[in-house]
Each structure stands twice: as C-alpha cells, then as structure tokens.
Structure 1
Amino acid sequence: MKQALVLIVVVIGALESGRAVLGDAVLMAVANGAMALMALMIAATFLWLWFERATPLALGMVYSWAGAALFIGGGWALALSGQAAWPAFAHVAVLVQGLYLVGALLHFAVIHRSFGFHGASFLWPMALALGLSALLAALV
C-alpha cells in the first residue's frame, strides 16, 4: 500500500510538471489518450480472463474498464479536435488522471505477475500508450 501512495504522489507531481511545461490542453490530450488506450488493454485482458474462467468479477472489470476507456476516449477525441473543456478543471483533472494512471499501472503489474513474469517489463503497455497518444497529439 505504501508503494501505491508513493506512486500517486510521483505521478501527480509528474502530471503537474507536465502541465507547467506543456500546458493544460496538451498534457490532458496526451494523458487522456494514453489512459483510454490502457483502459482498452485492461478491458481486453479481463475479457480474456472471463473467457478462461468465467468469473463475474472479470466480467465486471471488463465493463468497468471498457466504460472508462470510452468515457476518457471521448474526452481525448474532443481534445484532439480542439474542443477540450479540461483547462477549466485542470487541477481536478490532474488528480483524476493520476488515480486512473496509477490504477492502470497497478493492473498491468498484477497482469504481468499472473503470467509469471518479473521485473519492470509490465511498464511496456503504459509506455506504448503514452507514446501513441503523444504521437497522435503531435500529428493533430
């Protein structure tokens, strides 16, 4: 639990620093894009788990993460089209985004361990999502 608390402080600090350097709109576009993509990856993993074990918890997590992906992805699409409303709520948005990012990171760590892997390679989905989101934000 201590690790998760430290992680939330570090992630929110990084997001606030990114806000200061990139501005509200760019930071939220990149963070929302990465989070939408990670939420889809997590939903797909839980869907696979549900097919394997048919547990209600796995199916609930599919719905939860798919809903989050669609909600966040909708905001991402608005941001990429120049219609973002996030700057008015930037500080609250950074706190919410920090919680989502830490949740996704912890999910990837658990998924990673459940496949029998060890080390920091569970970070690749987050790095991939951040990279794709940043690339799309740069192209638009």
Structure 2
Amino acid sequence: MEQRKIAEAFVESMSQLMEILQMETDILNTQIYEGIDTLQARKVQLTKCYLEAQNKMQASPDVITCLNDIERADLRVLYKKFRNTLSENMLTLRGSYDATDRVVNLVIEAVKKQRGVTKKNIEAFAARPQGYAAYSAPESANAALNTQT
C-alpha cells in the first residue's frame, strides 16, 4: 500500500506543478503580471514537492509494478503532458528573458547616444594588442625579435 501512496503523491505533485507552469505561461503571454510573486513562491514549493516525489519513485522500483496497466498508461500520458507543459513554459520564459534583454540594451544604447558616448571615444573599447605583443611592452617586443644586433 505504501507504493500506491508514493505514486499518488507523484501524480498529485506533477498535476499541481503543471497547473502552476501553465498559469505562469499564460501570465507571460498576456503580459499581465498581477500575482506573479505569489505564483513564483508556490512554483518553488511545488517543484520541491515534485522532486521529492520523483526521488521516492526512483528509489522504489516496485511502485510502478503495483500499478495496473491502465494506471501505467495514464501515468505515461500525464508525464508526456507534463513534459510538454514544462517545455512550453521554458520557451516562454526564455522568450520573455530575451525580449527584456533586448529592451534593456536598446535603452542603454539610447542613453549612450544621447550623452554622446560612442565606442570610438571610450578607451575600454579600443583595439587591444594580439599574440605576444599583448604580454610585452611595444619596445621590448621589437628588441626581442631583432636578432641581427
């Protein structure tokens, strides 16, 4: 009976986490961020529960054998749905991150342009010496290479 409880806890944690991931994806797609803080806290909590349940499932291979064929098929379908939801959430998060990064870079470039700061007048962006010249002063590089004297 203990194995069935492990399987039920795994399925429940997966279902709840999937629901939170879908809600987060919807929030990011609609760009209405009300309640995202509480959602994130719940997501962290459910992720820990899911990982704990998954570890228990992996530690007890007998859990799967206690399930009948229909329950195993349902678990496979649920896991496939979970993976799809997780993948969609990851892609949406990555897209939101990239979009935010581009906006921040555009703002930085606009501020630099407004202040008259360009790569040409910033010494940090100047060309740097390459090869051995990067490790020695220019005068010593010529002396070391001149073997005729």
**Shared fold per TM-score greater than 0.5:** no
Normalised by the size of structure 2, how large is the TM-score?
0.35
Normalised by the size of structure 1, how large is the TM-score?
0.36
> By percentage of residues, which structure has more helix?
1
Which has the higher relative contact order, 1 or 2, with Cα contacts under 8 A spaced 6 or more apart?
A: 1
